[in-house]
Amino acid sequence: MKQICVVGVGYVGLVTAACFADLGNRVSALDVNEQRVENLKKGIMPIYEPGLEELVARNVKAGRIKFTTSYKEALKDAEYAFIAVGTPSGANGEADLQYVAAAAKSIAENMTAPLIVINKSTVPIGTGDWVADIVKKSQPKPIDFSVVSCPEFLREGSAIADFSSPHRTVIGSTDKDAANKVAHLHLPLRAPIVITDLRTAEMIKYASNAFLATKISFINELADLCEKVGADVKEVAAGMGYDARIGRYFLDAGLGWGGSCFPKDVEALAFMAKENGLNPKILNMTLEVNYDRRKKAVKRVDEMVGGLKGKTIGLLGLAFKPNTDDMRDAPAIDIAEALHKAGATVRGYDPVAMEVARPLLPAVELFDDPYKLAKGCDALMVITEWNEFKQLDLDKVKSLLKKPVIYDGRNIYEPKLMKEMGFTYQAIGRGFGA
């Protein structure tokens, strides 16, 4: 049993804390947001993540995890301190490290025994050295410590499974003993462990996310060509995916990526390249292609309904992906804003993201049921591929719509069936007239 402190109880920190506790460790999960900590003590989760509420409750009951706002309390007897705070994009695309700096300083000021400080947050190359410098300068008296990079590879919506069965664990440090101790902490996960230096570990995280984002932008650009030449991008992706050098994952054409990772990580990597005198052409185009998807979707719906002014458009799904309530950089935000500017009345529904979406979409009328949303709409747009949308009663939907128009931004329906049912239907990259 290890004593672990996790700083930050957002998507990464809370999952990390709960999963390490479930492995039998004693975990103190710290956050400076007092209300968030009080809610967690009452069993109220700050995020939606399948299985997380039950996991936290089980480990609270077992006494393996506790929540606090006190660094002194959280670091008492701790052997490891994970920094899992936000690193949002700055004005020029650079990563904003103010929360990392604050965490490092507070750890230094409150540690009382040798400690391994582990960067779990996604941070620019060189941050590990910078954190070490902050800790060293902020200590009231010298205490031995080491800094290790151990980037997260969790997907929202499947984060617990990703933590428990990772493809690999990446560990970087200039201190081999510290790296080995962090590796030992992860041994129960029975995954390949890559031990390298700090900067290489930091780069592995950025490179991984940027490559996956590039795959999505690539298949979306290919989808446009498929529409022009009469090919089906879903079949193209399936055929490509059988090649082990390519793989099937992240080849789903749609409205592009959003969320807290891909946008800021690609921007941050591009920023780092520019800062080092390079011209990151692929990264820049990856960003451009992705955000262009949202504009194209609005333009296509405008064509389908004969002009957006005075029309009512319903958005099925608001979160950036299924199984999360995360609205950060969600395509729904840009799409709703563009529809509204074009003179349309915009409606929205999401199974779990309604409360998070409400302040972000003030001009959108939110409904608590997809059928209520559909009644009287001139068109529906599938924005998020929630499973419940795949099983809608489409005959009922058709009877409720003012016009039977559906723009399927996630390719969840079959074009042939939709047309047979009498819908004016548009999928993405599914051949002539699809």
The sign of the CA dihedral 329, 333, 335, 341 is negative
223, two tokens: 């989808």
DSSP string, 328-371: TT-HHHHHHHHHHHTT-EEEEE-SS-HHHHTTT-TTSEE-SSHH
Query: Is 261 one of the annotated active-site residues of the chain?
Result: yes
Cα–Cα–Cα angle for 48, 53, 56, rounded to 5 degrees? 130
Q: What integer pLDDT is reported at residue 1 of this predicted model?
A: 84
Domains of the chain: 3-196 (3.40.50.720), 212-426 (3.40.50.720)
Cα–Cα–Cα angle for 278, 283, 288, rounded to 5 degrees? 125
How many Cα atoms are found within 13 Å in the side-chain-facing hemisphere of 183?
Answer: 16
**Are 344 and 309 spatial neighbours (Cβ–Cβ below 8 Å)?**
yes
**Are 109 and 115 spatial neighbours (Cβ–Cβ below 8 Å)?**
no
pLDDT in tens, the chain (434 residues): 899 999 999 999 999 999 999 999 999 999 999 999 999 999 999 999 999 999 999 999 999 999 999 999 999 999 999 999 999 988 888 999 999 999 999 999 999 999 999 999 999 999 999 999 999 999 999 999 999 999 999 999 999 999 999 999 999 999 999 999 999 999 999 999 999 999 999 999 999 999 999 999 999 999 999 999 999 999 999 999 999 999 999 999 999 999 989 999 999 999 999 999 999 999 999 999 999 999 999 999 999 999 999 999 999 999 999 999 999 999 999 999 999 999 999 999 999 999 999 999 999 999 999 999 999 999 999 999 999 999 999 999 999 999 999 999 999 999 999 999 999 999 999 985 44
Cα–Cα–Cα angle for 36, 37, 41, rounded to 5 degrees? 120
Of these residues, 5, 19, 261, 377, which one is catalytic?
A: 261
Q: What integer pLDDT is reported at residue 431 of this predicted model?
A: 80
Q: What integer pLDDT is reported at residue 434 of this predicted model?
A: 46
Q: What integer pLDDT is reported at residue 432 of this predicted model?
A: 58
